[in-house]
Amino acid sequence: MAIPFAPRRGAGAANRRWFVLLPPLLLALLLARPAAALVEGLYCGKRDCYEVLGVSRTASKAEIARAYRQLARRYHPDRYRPEPGEEGPGRTPQSAEEAFLLVATAYETLKDEEARRDYDYMLEHPEEYYSHYYHYYSRRLAPKVDVRAVILVSVCAVSAFQFFSWWNSYDKTISYLATVPKYRIQAMEIAKQQGLLRKAREKGRNRKSKEEVRDEEENIIKNIIKSKIDIKGGYQKPQIRDLLLFQILLAPFHLCSYIVWYCRWIYNFNIKGKEYGEEERLYIIRKSMKMSKSQFDSLEDHQKETFLKRELWIKENYEVYKQEQEEELKKRLANDPRWKRYRRWMKNEGPGRLTFVDD
């Protein structure tokens, strides 16, 4: 009776071990590279840069520069004249150009100390194939200008643009307020009390024309408005500390201040259970309304007093206040004739229809 073939126990274990070791072996074969010091595509390719220039590895910078100038004059495409019986690279204009480029590449590699150090390391350690590629292309593709200088110049340019833009908005705001009768009359009264307008209209040797007197009076009124009116929000007087450059410089200080303030807040109000002061209550109200500090500061004082009287720092009170504001806005829009026309247009025409009706 024939006995069926039964595999040995050790054979199955050996096969499993081979399956476990097979992927690392294949990966090693795929990543394996010949340990050749000269690699095509790096530096001078298969040629040794020292041999291309005809110098030794201990040559100085002066010797390398001298050898480069001699070979560059010899193989320059515009000056190359082949000599009878000349052999080697550069026997034709095309090969002379290739030789000139190879000489230039060798000189660019050896004249820089860091590049020369990397090249010497590649000659001494040819097995570090990928490391040589990384150092070569990271140096070749690196920006020629210092990135820190570019960032500094960009930040300064943005800060200058910010300052002049904010100052232009501030001047336009002052010019507009000078045309508002309420502020213009008050500014003229202050100017008369201080005698500024009388000085502008004085007569004497240096008598001014009507246009000059008018311009001087206008500047006086604007200066009084600048000194008497505190403009807040997006049209306030620009401050140096608000520029991007100073914000970046002061960022560590602001960060440390915020950490200290936050720790004090947790200790005083969460751990010790102290009551909120007026400043803390306004801060909570501002955060609930999702307003920036400049937006909240631009509100009138009576509005802030109303917030405090209604205790809006309490979440339940703020929700009631928010609902009241939404209802009031709906009533105001319901009585607005332009809003009514818009709703009729959305109902009858809609934004997706074209019409040739003039009205």
For position 34, what pLDDT does the model report? 45
Give per-residue pLDDT as tens, 278-298: 999 999 999 998 888 877 887
Contact call for residues 224 and 195 (beta carbons, < 8 A): no
The Cα 314–Cα 96 span in angstroms is 85
Q: What is the pLDDT of residue 159?
A: 92
Q: How far apart are alpha carbons 286 and 85 in whole angstroms?
A: 91
Cβ neighbours around 88 below 10 Å, total: 7
Residue-level length of the chain: 359
Q: What is the largest CA-CA distance in the chain?
A: 144
pLDDT in tens, 36-92: 556 677 888 888 889 889 998 888 989 999 999 988 888 877 776 665 555 554 455
pLDDT of residue 27: 46
**Nearest to residue 204, comparing CAs of 194, 213, 191, 196?**
213
Whether pTM > 0.85 for this model: the answer is no
Quick: pLDDT tens for 161-172.
999 998 898 888
Lowest-confidence region among 26-30, 77-81, 272-276, 322-326: 26-30
Residue range 180-221, pLDDT digits in tens: 888 888 888 888 888 776 665 655 556 667 787 788 888 888
